Structure 1
Amino acid sequence: MAWILLIVAGLLEIVWSLALKHAEGMTRLWPAVVGIAVAMVSLGLLSVALKHLPVGSAYAIWVGIGTIGVAAVGMLAFGEPVTWPRLAFLALILVGIAGLKFAEA
């Protein structure tokens, strides 16, 4: 269950990051409110998951899910550059996340 909570928390990190992008420096109310609210839920789920998972691995996985997700959305939806080095480094993050997960098993 802790792993499921951690994955959901990581996915919510993608949501709040994108909401804050749309908040344009906190000048747009509703994207800012959504971003802050979802960030609180994401941190809350991370906190619950940390009761059963090592902090170093859980935090790295949480951040990694958010990093890969936000980078992917940036490339697919916002026209950010899709380059081989960028994809290779995102793949390395993915390998690191998988490695941390299997190291905990």
Structure 2
Amino acid sequence: MSNALAWGMLLVAGVLDVLWALAMKQAEGYTRLGWSLVSLLLLAAFVWLLGRSLSVLPVGTAYAVWTGIGAVGTVLAGAWLFGESLGAVRLGGIALVLAGIVMLKLAPA
């Protein structure tokens, strides 16, 4: 697998992580069967993609980038879909996470 494909799979895994978190919220503690099944499918998909990307990418970098995508994406989705706050401190935290992701991506392996 190429390095570019591994990064692409990692990006998709991060997006699926965000979707998984949203499905978990909708599943309401696994009390809603449909959303519970969706969340489990998303979980399986992002774990598989993450695992595949780790065959090429350094584990520390890939895991940090994946969790950063998931964290930032989930905060933004929560604000957009559920009206969660996006104050200055939260926006600053998002900026720091994004800066860390960029630094990890650009750093030599």
User: What percentage of residue pairs aligned between the two structures are identical?
Assistant: 46
Q: Secondary structure in 1 aligned to 2:56?
A: coil
Structure 2 equivalent of residue 87 of structure 1 = 91
Distance of 2:70 and 2:108 partners within structure 1: 20
Amino acid at match of 1:84: A
Match of 1:70 among 69, 74, 81: 74
Query: Is 1:45 matched up with 2:33?
Result: no
Report how many aligned residue pairs link the two structures: 105
Distance of 1:95 and 1:47 partners within structure 2: 24
| Shift, 1:70, TM fit | 0.5
Structure 2 equivalent of residue 34 of structure 1 = 38
Distance of 2:108 and 2:72 partners within structure 1: 21
| Shift, 1:88, TM fit | 0.3
Distance of 2:99 and 2:41 partners within structure 1: 30
Amino acid at match of 2:65: I
CA, structure 1 residues 2+17, in 2 after alignment: closer, same or farther (shift >3 Å)? same
| Shift, 1:76, TM fit | 1.3
Gap regions ≥5 residues in structure 1: none
Q: Deviations over 1:51-75 (max 9, x none)?
A: 0001011001011001001100111
Distance of 1:36 and 1:77 partners within structure 2: 21
Query: Is 1:99 matched up with 2:103?
Result: yes
TM-score by length of 1: 0.97
